[in-house]
Amino acid sequence: MRVCFVVHGLPPVERGGVEQCTVALADELARRGHAVEVFAPTRRADLPDRALRRERRGAWHVTWVNLESSPGDPETALEPRGVAEAFARFLDAERPDVVHVQHLLRLGLGPLAAAAEFGAPLVYTAHDWFALTDSFALLRPDLTRFEAAPTPEEEARCDLARSILNAVESLGDYHLGVPAAWLDEPVRARVAATLAGDEEGAGFHENEWTEARARRERMASRRRAAFGAVDAFVSPSAYLAGWLEEAFVTGAQSDTQDPSNGGRTRPPRVVHQPNGIDTRRLDDVPAVPVHSAGAATERVRLGFVGSLTKHKGVHLLLDAYAQLSDATRERLPLVIHGDSTDRAYVARIADRARELGVEYAGAFDGDRLPEVLAGIDCLVVPSIWYENFPTVLREAFAAGRIAVASDLGALPESVRDGVDGLLYAPDDADDLARVLRRLVEEEGLLARLLEGRPRVRTIETQVDELEALYGELLVGREAPVDPGGGLAHLAELGRRYRELEALPTRDLLASCTSRIADLAGVLGLDAARSPIERLAFGLGESSRSLEELRDRRDESGYLGQLLDERERRARWLDERLSGIERERDWLRDDRENLAQAVEFHETSTQALEKERDWLRQMQSDFERERNWLLSKQSDFQREREYLLSKQSDFQTERDWLKRKTAELDEERARLDATLHETRTAAEQERAWRDSMLSEIERERDWLRSEIRSREEERTWLANLVSDKEETLTYVWGLVEGKDSDLARLRSEIESCERVAAEVLVAFGHAPVELEPDVEVEGGGKLERMLGGLFDHGHALLAQLEALRDSQARAHAELHWRRGEMDGARLALARRTVSWLAYFAGFAKRVAAWELPGSGDGAVEDSANREVNP
């Protein structure tokens, strides 16, 4: 089987767990007879960018793709230019049966797409979360952990936050991020605001936010499509396998229908397959000395072994170590093995280690691992990220060491708390210190943990499973298309064609060059001439490669010139861009000014429109007035003509009037005389009337006084009547009493009479008749008195009525006199007014006739009055 591994680096340059794991797998597969080719990036100044170089590594080969430049932005980093093409060339030449990606750091997604295009089964081992996110350690730039795969929005925030860190030179190559506490306040606050999505606090232009978000949306889409081509995900831990299952199987069922997922029509497999290690070299590591089982251990040598990058948490280990007393430190010596390109962090760790009396041993050659592990008793894994499956942990166990690790991610799968190691609360230096103390303070703990060490999975076991997986994937592939289209006579040739197609290019070359010599024999050519001789001859004649090389050189020169030109143009464009940006800023200001001006103009326009409307209204009014004036003008013309005619009439009339005036003068004289007489008569009449009025008023006053006296009298009479009525009432009461007495007396008399009659009868006498006078003596007098009183009252009432009639007549006469007097006054006033009016009009007309040129003036005066009514 031909297996191709893709990885971001190999020892000795890259010494991480992934790289070591890849080497171990390649070694074991090659040992079993598989052809193993590794594709990995390198950085060599002596090679052209994207050049491929193949190199032998023991029983397998690595092909380096030279990636000179670092990607400038996340999007370019995800798909570096030319990597997919370079990997496609590699696949075309090597023809692997299986492509197994270990990591895509620096290579980006290109290899996935190229592998999908090539058609071999694609296996991806998830050593971290790169399949889900660029933040493959699930850490934000402030080294806080994501709880779920970040969304494009969160990744965009991280990008912007990283750009803030990029600008802080003192951070150097800060790798995954920097703890917020290590940042200066302004930077920390800005990073925090950015990660929180506080656009205002982050201080980025809105375009930067927009661009960052759009870029991350694109990247997420491309990541989904690229990883959609994977046939099987391998996860060393069950923990990460769960994430992959969720992301690519259960949570992404619909994606299997997506044509962009590499053409895969079924969901990928997710396989939990713990890494194995080559334990053989660790067999000879001396065992941890346990001084006395059951007693507290005298001394436990602690060690960190790994990359000195922040997510590995060495700073946390040192924080915990600082909490230990000197005496405890004495019993827990700590050594740090490792290095990284994060120089600022390495320097910080080295300084802190020195302060705490910790040995910082720096980098070590991989061959020295047994020696390194022999120098420690307990490996500390203080990671602050969701550690997946640390190889060094297996190596420590294989070397008979125990481990202390954070209770985070998949670490609890590797370290069983209290069985083969101890776990502490993640990020908790206090708890780590507590756990470390237990190692020397708890009796028998070390011995118990050493006893509980797990059996380490070997690389052989892992490769057994891997071979099985590869086999299943190959069996599961659709049969290759018959190039002969199913035609029987093409079947054999088609099969041979496929065989040759599957050969690596170098094998094809070897096959050809070896058999060309046989051809020489068939053709009967000189058997003494060696292939090398013929090849040299052929190459000497001409070579497409050489010609192509020359062409490429020429092209390179041309492209160099073109590049220079482009660079010049780029500089010019940069300058132009900055100019445009300045212009943009100016335009923005201008736009704001214009906006204000527009607002002002809009207001002005509104005012002007109102004014315009008013003016239009005025114009309309004026036009109407003009029309009216024109009509008036014609009217005036007509009137003027009329007046001219009238003027002549007036001339005539004036003459007539002059004559008439004379007559009137005479009449006036006569009337004056008459007026004088009339006035005299009127004055006389007025005096008479005044005297009459005085008399009437006097009479009125007399009548009023009479009325008052009558009123008083009436009042007196009324009072008298009232008294009389009371008396009458009293008398009526008496009369009624007398009547009742009378009636009673009558009845008594009758009774007496009847008694008397009965007595008389009884005594034999006849009934006696009473005299009427006797019977009504009392009643007759009263009736007469009452009759007299009534008569007197009636006489008084009659007198009162007479007085009232007299008063009413006096009032009526007074009223009539007044009316008559008012009528006389009114008539006099009317006559006076009519006279005055007559004389006033007459005087005016006379005055008008006497003015010089008064005819025209009168017209103009009239016209003026008409225009300005």
List phi, psi (to 5°) of 270.
-120, 120
Q: Any residues with CB less than 8 A from the CB of 98 and at least 6 apart, and which?
A: 1, 2, 3, 4, 120, 121, 123, 470, 473, 474
Tokens representing 134 are 């660029």
Q: How far is CA 317 from the centre of its chain?
A: 44
Q: Out of 173, 548, 581, 860, which residue is the one contacting other proteins (CB under 8 A)?
A: 548
| Shortest Å distance, C-beta 47 to other proteins | 16
Task: Report the C-alpha gap between 453 and 847 in whole angstroms.
Answer: 146
Burial of 503 (0-12, 13-18, 19+ CB in 10 A): middle
Is residue 2 close enough to count as binding other proteins by CB under 8 A?
A: no
* CB contact burial 647-656 (16+ within 10 A = b; e otherwise): beebeeebee
Closest C-alpha to 63, from 27, 44, 87: 87
Is residue 551 close enough to count as binding other proteins by CB under 8 A?
A: no
Is residue 50 close enough to count as binding other proteins by CB under 8 A?
A: no
Q: Which span (306-314, 529-537, 592-600, 861-869) binds other proteins, by CB under 8 A? A: 529-537
Query: 60 near 36, Cβ under 8 Å?
Result: yes
Q: Which span (253-261, 532-540, 709-717, 825-833) binds other proteins, by CB under 8 A? A: 532-540
| Shortest Å distance, C-beta 86 to other proteins | 11
DSSP sequence for 419-475: TTEEEE-TT-HHHHHHHHHHHHHSTTHHHHHHHTPPPPPBHHHHHHHHHHHHHHHHH
List Cα–Cα distances, 596 to 209, 589, 591, 601, 610, in angstroms. 28, 11, 8, 8, 21
How many chain residues touch other proteins (CB under 8 A)? Answer: 48
| Shortest Å distance, C-beta 500 to other proteins | 5
Q: Which span (195-203, 498-506, 627-635, 679-687) binds other proteins, by CB under 8 A? A: 498-506
**How many residues appear in the chain?**
869
Tokens representing 850 are 């006497």
Is residue 478 close enough to count as binding other proteins by CB under 8 A?
A: no
Alpha helix (H) residue ranges in 37-125: 74-78, 83-94, 110-118
Query: 134 near 78, Cβ under 8 Å?
Result: yes
Tokens representing 532 are 């090398």
Cβ closest to other proteins, residue 511 vs residue 715: 511
Is residue 484 close enough to count as binding other proteins by CB under 8 A?
A: yes
Tokens representing 438 are 């237990």
Q: Out of 511, 652, 722, 729, which residue is the one contacting other proteins (CB under 8 A)?
A: 511
Cβ closest to other proteins, residue 357 vs residue 480: 480
Cα dihedral across residues 489, 495, 501, 503: positive or negative? negative
Is residue 762 close enough to count as binding other proteins by CB under 8 A?
A: no
Is residue 552 close enough to count as binding other proteins by CB under 8 A?
A: no
Q: Out of 238, 295, 474, 481, which residue is the one contacting other proteins (CB under 8 A)?
A: 481
Q: Which span (289-297, 305-313, 502-510, 810-818) binds other proteins, by CB under 8 A? A: 502-510
Task: Report the C-alpha gap between 594 and 587 in whole angstroms.
Answer: 10
Edge-first strand order for the sheet with 421-424 is 359-362, 334-337, 302-305, 378-381, 402-406, 421-424
List phi, psi (to 5°) of 455.
-80, 125
Q: Which span (89-97, 354-362, 595-603, 748-756) binds other proteins, by CB under 8 A? A: 89-97
Is residue 486 close enough to count as binding other proteins by CB under 8 A?
A: yes
Q: What is the DSSP letter of 222?
A: H
Q: Any residues with CB less than 8 A from the CB of 21 and at least 6 apart, and which?
A: 102, 125, 127, 275, 277, 391
| Shortest Å distance, C-beta 510 to other proteins | 10
Q: Any residues with CB less than 8 A from the CB of 685 and at least 6 apart, and which?
A: 824
Cα dihedral across residues 215, 218, 221, 224: positive or negative? negative
Is residue 772 close enough to count as binding other proteins by CB under 8 A?
A: no
Is residue 483 close enough to count as binding other proteins by CB under 8 A?
A: yes
Cβ closest to other proteins, residue 50 vs residue 632: 50
Is residue 354 close enough to count as binding other proteins by CB under 8 A?
A: no
Tokens representing 310 are 């922040």
| Shortest Å distance, C-beta 519 to other proteins | 6
Q: Which span (104-112, 319-327, 507-515, 609-617) binds other proteins, by CB under 8 A? A: 507-515
Q: Which span (23-31, 415-423, 486-494, 764-772) binds other proteins, by CB under 8 A? A: 486-494
Cβ closest to other proteins, residue 44 vs residue 496: 496
Q: Which span (134-142, 291-299, 517-525, 772-780) binds other proteins, by CB under 8 A? A: 517-525
Q: H/E element holding 64?
A: strand 60-66
Q: Out of 287, 295, 535, 587, which residue is the one contacting other proteins (CB under 8 A)?
A: 535
Q: Which span (12-20, 289-297, 477-485, 559-567) binds other proteins, by CB under 8 A? A: 477-485
Is residue 51 close enough to count as binding other proteins by CB under 8 A?
A: no
Q: Out of 254, 325, 542, 864, which residue is the one contacting other proteins (CB under 8 A)?
A: 542
Is residue 496 close enough to count as binding other proteins by CB under 8 A?
A: yes
| Shortest Å distance, C-beta 517 to other proteins | 9
Task: Report the C-alpha gap between 811 and 799 in whole angstroms.
Answer: 18
Is residue 505 close enough to count as binding other proteins by CB under 8 A?
A: yes
Pairing, β 52-57 against β 60-66:
antiparallel
Cβ closest to other proteins, residue 181 vs residue 527: 527
Is residue 785 close enough to count as binding other proteins by CB under 8 A?
A: no
| Shortest Å distance, C-beta 4 to other proteins | 16
Is residue 687 close enough to count as binding other proteins by CB under 8 A?
A: no
Cβ closest to other proteins, residue 500 vs residue 607: 500
Q: Out of 53, 354, 477, 529, which residue is the one contacting other proteins (CB under 8 A)?
A: 529
Q: Out of 508, 756, 786, 858, which residue is the one contacting other proteins (CB under 8 A)?
A: 508
Is residue 759 close enough to count as binding other proteins by CB under 8 A?
A: no
Cβ closest to other proteins, residue 552 vs residue 569: 552
Helix, strand, or coil (residue 6): strand
Q: Which span (177-185, 263-271, 499-507, 707-715) binds other proteins, by CB under 8 A? A: 499-507
Closest C-alpha to 94, from 503, 509, 511, 512: 503
Is residue 846 close enough to count as binding other proteins by CB under 8 A?
A: no
Is residue 537 close enough to count as binding other proteins by CB under 8 A?
A: yes
Task: Report the C-alpha gap between 442 and 323 in whole angstroms.
Answer: 18
| Shortest Å distance, C-beta 301 to other proteins | 54
Is residue 509 close enough to count as binding other proteins by CB under 8 A?
A: yes
Is residue 852 close enough to count as binding other proteins by CB under 8 A?
A: no
Is residue 119 close enough to count as binding other proteins by CB under 8 A?
A: no
Q: H/E element holding 63?
A: strand 60-66
Query: 185 near 238, Cβ under 8 Å?
Result: no
Cα dihedral across residues 103, 107, 109, 114: positive or negative? negative
Task: Report the C-alpha gap between 731 and 547 in whole angstroms.
Answer: 170
Q: Which span (177-185, 294-302, 479-487, 798-806) binds other proteins, by CB under 8 A? A: 479-487
Cβ closest to other proteins, residue 444 vs residue 504: 504
Cβ closest to other proteins, residue 169 vs residue 518: 518
| Shortest Å distance, C-beta 84 to other proteins | 15
Helix, strand, or coil (residue 206): helix
Residues of span 572-631 touching other proteins by CB under 8 A:
none
- Site residues for other proteins per CB under 8 A: 89, 92-93, 481, 483-490, 493-494, 496-497, 500-501, 505-506, 508-509, 511-513, 515-516, 518-520, 522-526, 529, 531, 534-535, 537-539, 541-545, 548
